[in-house]
Chain A
Amino acid sequence: MNPLIFTTILMTVLLGTMIVMMSSHWLMIWIGFEMNLLAIIPILMKKYNPRTMEASTKYFLTQATASMLLMMAIIINLMHSGQWTITKVFNPTASIIMTSALAMKLGLTPFHFWVPEVTQGISLTSGLILLTWQKLAPMSILYQISPSINLNILLTMAVLSILVGGWGGLNQTQLRKIMAYSSIAHMGWMTAVLVYNPTLTMLNMLIYIMMTLTMFMLFIHSSSTTTLSLSHTWNKTPLITTLILITLLSMGGLPPLSGFMPKWMIIQELTKNSSIILPTLMAIMALLNLYFYMRLTYSTSLTMFPSTNNMKMKWQFETKRITLLPPLIVMSSLLLPLTPMLSILD
């Protein structure tokens, strides 16, 4: 793509999300979402083939539906409250519709079906933008309306997301689908604590974005989109296998890595609010996620994957330079001792 045009489109995506995050007028938020959606379609379709077209169409349809639902919720809110400013949504109907719309945008169960298919159809870099940047805008709106969200619906969606994210990823070998299911599960964790302490949602979002960014960059570095091709990295860059191991264990939420911090804080917040069964269930279902991460680490770093001699001599392209990888890896694995610092967030 022409670099100038690509920059413009990328800036539009950024601008769209910024408008969503910084507006106080509901209409501007809707405009921000639409801008974001329209501008990201060309980015999703960077490679022009039928698979990408299908993925982009699916993404467009779901997100446009969600935007329309959001608009309806905004109008109902206008009708009942008479004003356009962002505050908590007082009318329950509007609140439920808005929650569903934002869940559709995020990819929470039961609106999660588009996430694996869209992520699979697009290139790794576009998938990266889809799974990290696109989550920021809906999450910021959820943060702002969090006092008024119906707790039952949100918790049901969260727990089902964790379940679906764990179970759905079990049968996958394509890395992008694995990352998609992982995203569904993490969104579940984030929304579970939204009503109790939205700051933890933001913390989880931050750490999730760091870990997903790291994972995708490691995949891009070895240009691998399947488990099979990832298992050949030991031959080309053995250090990457160690980094993949550490990042995957961090995503699975194993102490002492930083992926444990959001889970711990969320379990703590939920327990303080006297719900005990819920965090226990959530924690146990996160083990499903850990299972398929472990399977990935087994084939990548902890065993020498059997391969014929021909496969060992892959094309040696010029090594891509991934600028931010070392700091990202450090941050996505070593942040746990900083947990006491979170008290400054109150």
Chain B
Amino acid sequence: MLKIIIPTIMLMPLTWLSKKNMIWINTTTYSLLISLISLSLLNQPSNNSLNFSLMFFSDPLSAPLLVLTTWLLPLMLMASQHHLSKEPLIRKKLYITMLTMLQTLLIMTFTATELISFYILFEATLVPTLIIITRWGNQTERLNAGLYFLFYTLMGSLPLLVALISIQNLTGSLNFLLIQYWNQALPDSWSNIFLWLACMMAFMVKMPLYGLHLWLPKAHVEAPIAGSMVLAAILLKLGGYGMLRITTMLNPQTSFMAYPFLMLSLWGMIMTSSICLRQTDLKSLIAYSSVSHMALVIVAVLIQTPWSYMGATALMIAHGLTSSMLFCLANSNYERTHSRTMILARGLQTLLPLMAAWWLLASLTNLALPPSINLIGELFVVMSSFSWSNITIILMGTNITITALYSLYMLITTQRGKYTHHINSIKPSFTRENALMALHMTPLLLLSLNPKIILGFTY
């Protein structure tokens, strides 16, 4: 694992010592190389995890998330080149340093064995993200957005610290590899109910759960493109990953404690999808769509069946790539018109046809078109929730319909129809942008050929 962590840390001196015309080239190339190293982790032994040391391990759940994280850093760097082009050199280097620091912390989070180490790194990812949102965002609202982001997450996760320490007192060790062999049922008592709540709330806020999701539209909308990408693609998945890890220790309370959260998620996914239909702000639409997809993941994790875990993992990876791609597309609009209003730049298919092809592919994967991995994830979740309770099929079906509705609404509003006359002088698509979209889409399409690598540890 050090062969991934140390090169990522060394990206920081690389940034600071590069010449002015080489910073983007150096960092993008080397981060792409590092992502190729992480691909070797996908080769997992079938019934166990890869243990690198006492501190780091990777199993079929964390390996795809790790690959996604390392894959995303070069994409983030490519996406940020335009909006940072006018900044002084030191600020560019600071930005890349923040991204690299965030990347290191994320890699260590996904591979941590000890749960307290996971917690510390989980919290530590907040600091670079906060700095990226607040320092490089564009509107005044970013200050409020940063505060909401920081405080929602911290309020949820401080009880988690106390809960982890009390679990350590009870069981003697928080090393994940040990716990999965030594697990015992939690006795039924009021304090264990609060323990369950304390453990789960941090990840519920991070996912986010429907009632606690206020920070997400603010943070996603106000963040610069790299911030949005990393937030949507990875940081939300931290919540899902944490929940998947910690629910192994929390039986049997989960069987009855999960009901309120299941209700909230099931209702929330429909509510947030419906809100998407009425959004004027493009990034806000994509943000609410993230909430909706993550609500599906929450449902899947709380049901705790092998199929639902497969669906949750596949959905996390698929949503990571799709959502990040949608944010890049929205950003390409924003860089041209400096506005996020959807109807302001309509009919782009006439002006930028290749970009319209990417918009089409992204929208199609967002609405879970077969045979993409989005469909595999959603289908597994729908099927397992149907087996948990037959009535949920109505809600799930409604959600799939509304998802299709708003994805196509977004596609048709921005791409089809007559173009508005004031945008006929926008710059054509850069090669960099097309490369960015291709690098997002290619893994998505290729994974539909072999989805077994993203189906997690219950495959």
The residues of A with any CB-CB pair to B shorter than 8 Å are: 245, 249, 254-257, 260, 264, 267-268, 271-272, 276, 279-280, 283-284, 287, 290-291, 294, 298, 301-303, 336
Contacts and interface: CB of A to CB of B under 8 A. Distances in A.
Contacts of A284: 155, 158
Contact of A271 (B131, B146, B169, B194): B169
Contact of B121 (A245, A256, A271, A276): A256
B271 interface: no
B162 A267 contact: yes
Interface string B167-186: 00100000000000000000
A279 B160 CA distance: 11
A290 B159 CA distance: 16
Given A256-B121, A287-B151, A280 B159 contact: yes
Nearest to B143: A298
A317 to B, nearest CB: 25
B224 to A, nearest CB: 13
B120 A272 contact: no
Contacts of A276: 162, 166, 191, 194
B124 A256 contact: yes
B158 A280 contact: yes
A245 to B, nearest CB: 8
B150 A294 contact: yes
A291 B146 CA distance: 11
A254 B127 contact: yes
B134 interface: yes
Contacts of A336: 120
B120 A291 contact: no
Nearest to A286: B158
Interface in B118-164: 120-121, 123-124, 126-127, 131, 134-135, 143, 146-147, 150-151, 154-155, 158-159, 161-162
B123 A280 contact: no
Contacts of A249: 127
A267 B158 CA distance: 10
B154 A287 contact: yes
> Which of A249, A268, A284, A301: most chain B CB closer than 10 A?
A268
A303 B137 CA distance: 10
B126 A254 contact: yes
B89 interface: no
Nearest to B147: A294
Contact of A303 (B120, B124, B143): B143
Nearest to B124: A256
Contact of A255 (B120, B169, B191): B120
A279 B143 contact: no
A267 to B, nearest CB: 6
Contacts of A294: 146-147, 150
Contacts of B150: 290, 294
Given A255-B124, A256-B124, A267 B161 contact: yes
Contacts of A267: 161-162, 165
B126 to A, nearest CB: 7
5 contacts: A254-B123, A271-B169, A276-B191, A287-B154, A336-B120
A120 B4 CA distance: 50
Contacts of A272: 165, 169
Given A249-B127, A260-B120, A271-B162, 8 more contacts: A254-B124, A255-B124, A256-B127, A290-B150, A290-B151, A298-B143, A298-B146, A302-B134
A283 B163 CA distance: 12
B162 A283 contact: yes
A286 B41 CA distance: 40
Contacts of B124: 254-256
Contact of B123 (A255, A268, A291, A301): A255
Interface string B352-385: 0000000000000000000000000000000000
Contacts of A271: 162, 165-166, 169
B165 A268 contact: yes
A135 to B, nearest CB: 26
Contacts of B166: 271, 276
A290 B147 CA distance: 10
Considering the complex of A and B, which 3 residue pairs feature the smallest CB-CB distances, nearest first?
A: A283-B158, A256-B124, A302-B134
> Which of A271, A279, A287, A291: most chain B CB closer than 10 A?
A271
A302 B131 contact: yes
Contacts of A254: 123-124, 126-127
Contacts of B154: 287, 290
> Which of B143, B155, B158, B165: most chain A CB closer than 10 A?
B158
Interface in B294-328: none
A261 to B, nearest CB: 10
A115 to B, nearest CB: 26
Contacts of B127: 249, 254, 256-257
Contacts of B105: 256
A294 B134 CA distance: 11
Contact of B162 (A255, A256, A280, A298): A280
